[in-house]
A and B are shown apart, each in its own frame.
Chain A
Amino acid sequence: MESEKNLKRVPLTRLPENKKAKVVEIAGGANMRDKLMSMGMNEGRELVKLSYIGLRGPVVVKIGRSVVAIGYGVAAKITVETI
């Protein structure tokens, strides 16, 4: 049970493209957290990962009706749970 749950929880960087997921945790600096939250990304929110450019470039996600590009370093600190 526990292992299955862990499988579903991944950093945003490892979520497959076009997959829907729910934000579980946003680690990292308070400033970045605030910024993400004011752009509509808070814990519990659903998102779809649109793409990852590669080469440690940004991850592009769709939250609600906004499309947001998130730097690789930040995306690595966002944990999501696949739905």
Chain B
Amino acid sequence: MIKKIYLVGNPNVGKSVIFSRLTGVQVISSNYPGTTVEISRGWLQFAEKNIEVIDLPGTYSLEPTSGAEETAVSLLAELPKEEIAVVNVLDSTNLERNLSLTLQLIEKGFPVVVCLNMCDDAGHRGIHIDAVKLSELLSVPVISTCAVTGSGIKLLMSKIQEARPVARESLSHEARWLELGRLIEEVQSLEHRHHTLRELLEDASVRPVTGLLMAAAVVFASFKVVRFIGEAIISGITDPFFNAIYRPLLEKLSLGLHEGGFWFHLLIGDLIGGKIDFKQSLGVLTTAPYIEIGMVLPYVIAFYLILSLLEDIGYLPRLAILLDSLMHPLGLHGYAVIPILLGFGCNVPGILSTRVLESKRERLIAATIISIGVPCVPLQAMIIGLLGKFGGWYVGGVYLVLFSLIIILGLVLNRLMRGNSPEFLLEIPPYRIPPASLLARKLYFRVKGFLLEAMPVVLLGVMFINVLMYFRVFDMITGFFAPLVVHLFGLPKEAIVALVVGFLRKDVAVGLLAPLNLTIKQLFTATTLLAVSFPCVATFFVLLKELGLKALVKSTLIMIGVAVIVGTLLNFVILR
């Protein structure tokens, strides 16, 4: 009786897409090895019973060589072999290497169903696989699927119960490769194809000159497009909504409240020049929704659209190759580019994906760099929103400070921490054109995740701040920190509230700076400080979970130290 179904396969063969198809549970899938760093579990309706389906991280062999592979192999040993079914997902365009794991699974006595995924892509490349013949040779069910469109999934479901262990001699590594060669001869036929444009682009992107030119173009275009889409959403959708529809509603509501009273203060906030100012009023119903939906959300949508596109096309591993040698002095190798890029969206998934890095040392360096030097989209949106009107130089200035910090921190940590960084070894996926439906689902999933996470914190946070301000509790805290902030950083003591709130969410904190009438120098210092200081509460917990308490304390001390140094330097040296 099957109790659990495991999805097993090499990295980047589409296990997560199959998983989503089988269970209806949406998980993030991309076109690069190591997207799945957490084990996803879901349920499949099967012979009138619910069976658990588990999506394992990719593994090249059953003799694990990395942390993620170890997890995969140990989970497979959880239950006796009679009680599980293994769906072995293969990339049809690379049968030879993928089949090595299949043979190992069969040899070890696992009940296997082979799923030849990406069969449409194989067809495009002139690769034809005789699934029936392969099934005969292996004595296990073999099904061709294309998970992205859903074809073959029904058949796969029906074949899962036919998975049985079969007797097969255990082979040595060398003998297995010879055996593979024989199998491939019999089941695969290749059509000769001329080099396609796609292959030319694949080649050009990993060569020094053309690769760097392409990388520069991709990065530049991404920045431009994110800003363009973000601004278009703001001026075309969210601002008209807030001004034409939402404002009249609020004005009606505010008539029923007594200005200066507790509820007015809490919900509407302060009137600026007799009117509601969405950026400065600081009410639960005014500034809180405006920051998240009117200022941050448009950029979240734009950023994840572009990131998802780059992920699914398969460009990111190529960027990792190009940047590898530049990352070595920081104690990292090229693949750290992926967690760092994800960190630009939100630090939490960025830090989670440092799991693709092998050593604890690399992970600590990467996680610290991300939480100090990588501004998330909400923070960036606020920096642009607040500093942008003073000119691009100030916005650029914040990025320059953060970028320098990444370099300095990496160099210092690499010197101070013991151990070497492991070598780079990465399979580069082919370019794929993602179907729009898949992109749309992924974008929806990420944007929904952002709203669910951010909105409650922002609403409760602003409510909390307003209650504290109303009862003047902040006066005590500001009194205590005032000497530091006023003398070292040159900021008014009201800015302390924003710095403290930065622990909750950075976007709200930057929002709190808006009504303070700061000079451009103070605004620049305060936003930079917010960017480099303590991570927000969500990042803090993920750091704790991923690195453990000791490393978290280390990393936190570094952050506080860095914030004090940067604030002081900006005030006394750089911005004088």
Q: Report A's interface with B, CB cutoff 8 A.
A: 31-32, 34-40, 42, 45, 50-58, 60, 64-74
Contacts and interface: CB of A to CB of B under 8 A. Distances in A.
Contacts of B95: 65
A8 B455 CA distance: 64
Contact of A69 (B173, B326, B328, B424): B424
The 10 closest A-B pairs by CB, nearest first: A71-B424, A71-B423, A38-B60, A57-B325, A38-B61, A55-B325, A67-B428, A40-B97, A35-B65, A65-B94
A60 B317 CA distance: 12
A53 B100 CA distance: 30
A50 B318 CA distance: 13
A71 B65 contact: no
Given A42-B174, A64-B97, A65-B93, A71 B207 contact: no
A60 to B, nearest CB: 5
Contact of B208 (A31, A35, A54, A64): A54
Contact of B321 (A32, A37, A39, A57): A57
Contacts of A67: 202, 206, 427-428, 430
Nearest to A31: B65
A68 B325 contact: no
Contacts of B60: 35, 38-39
A70 B425 contact: yes
Contacts of B173: 37, 42
Interface string B161-189: 00000000000011001000000000000
A22 to B, nearest CB: 14
B61 A64 contact: no
A58 B97 contact: no
Contacts of A32: 423, 425
A33 to B, nearest CB: 9
A54 B325 contact: yes
A35 B322 contact: no
B324 interface: yes
A50 B206 contact: yes
Contacts of A53: 206, 208, 211, 321-322, 324-325
A57 B423 CA distance: 11
Contact of B325 (A39, A56, A66): A56
B423 A73 contact: yes
A42 B177 contact: yes
B203 interface: yes
A58 B96 contact: no
Given A36-B425, A56-B325, A69-B424, 17 more contacts: A34-B65, A51-B207, A51-B211, A53-B322, A55-B325, A58-B424, A64-B97, A65-B93, A66-B94, A66-B97, A68-B427, A69-B320, A69-B324, A69-B334, A70-B424, A71-B424, A74-B423
Nearest to A36: B425
Nearest to A33: B65
A68 B424 contact: no
A74 B428 CA distance: 17
Given A58-B334, A66-B97, A50 B425 contact: no
A55 B208 CA distance: 10
B505 interface: no
Nearest to B190: A65
20 contacts: A35-B60, A35-B425, A38-B60, A42-B177, A51-B206, A51-B211, A53-B206, A53-B321, A54-B208, A58-B334, A58-B426, A65-B95, A66-B97, A67-B206, A68-B426, A68-B428, A69-B206, A69-B426, A71-B324, A71-B423
Interface string B404-426: 00000000000000000001111
Contact of B322 (A31, A45, A57): A57
A36 B100 CA distance: 13
B48 interface: no
Nearest to B328: A56
Interface string B252-285: 0000000000000000000000000000000000
Contacts of B96: 40, 64-65
Contacts of B207: 50-51
A65 B95 CA distance: 8
B428 A69 contact: yes
B191 interface: no
Contacts of A40: 96-97, 100
B324 A64 contact: no
A42 B61 CA distance: 14
Contacts of A64: 94, 96-97
A23 to B, nearest CB: 12
Centre residue among B97, B100, B326 by max chain A CB count within 10 A: B97
Contacts of B424: 58, 69-71, 74
A53 B328 CA distance: 14
B93 to A, nearest CB: 6
B78 interface: no
B427 A58 contact: no
Contacts of A60: 206, 321, 428
B57 to A, nearest CB: 14
Nearest to A64: B96
A82 to B, nearest CB: 20
Interface string B341-352: 000000000000
A46 to B, nearest CB: 12
A35 B334 CA distance: 18
B63 interface: yes
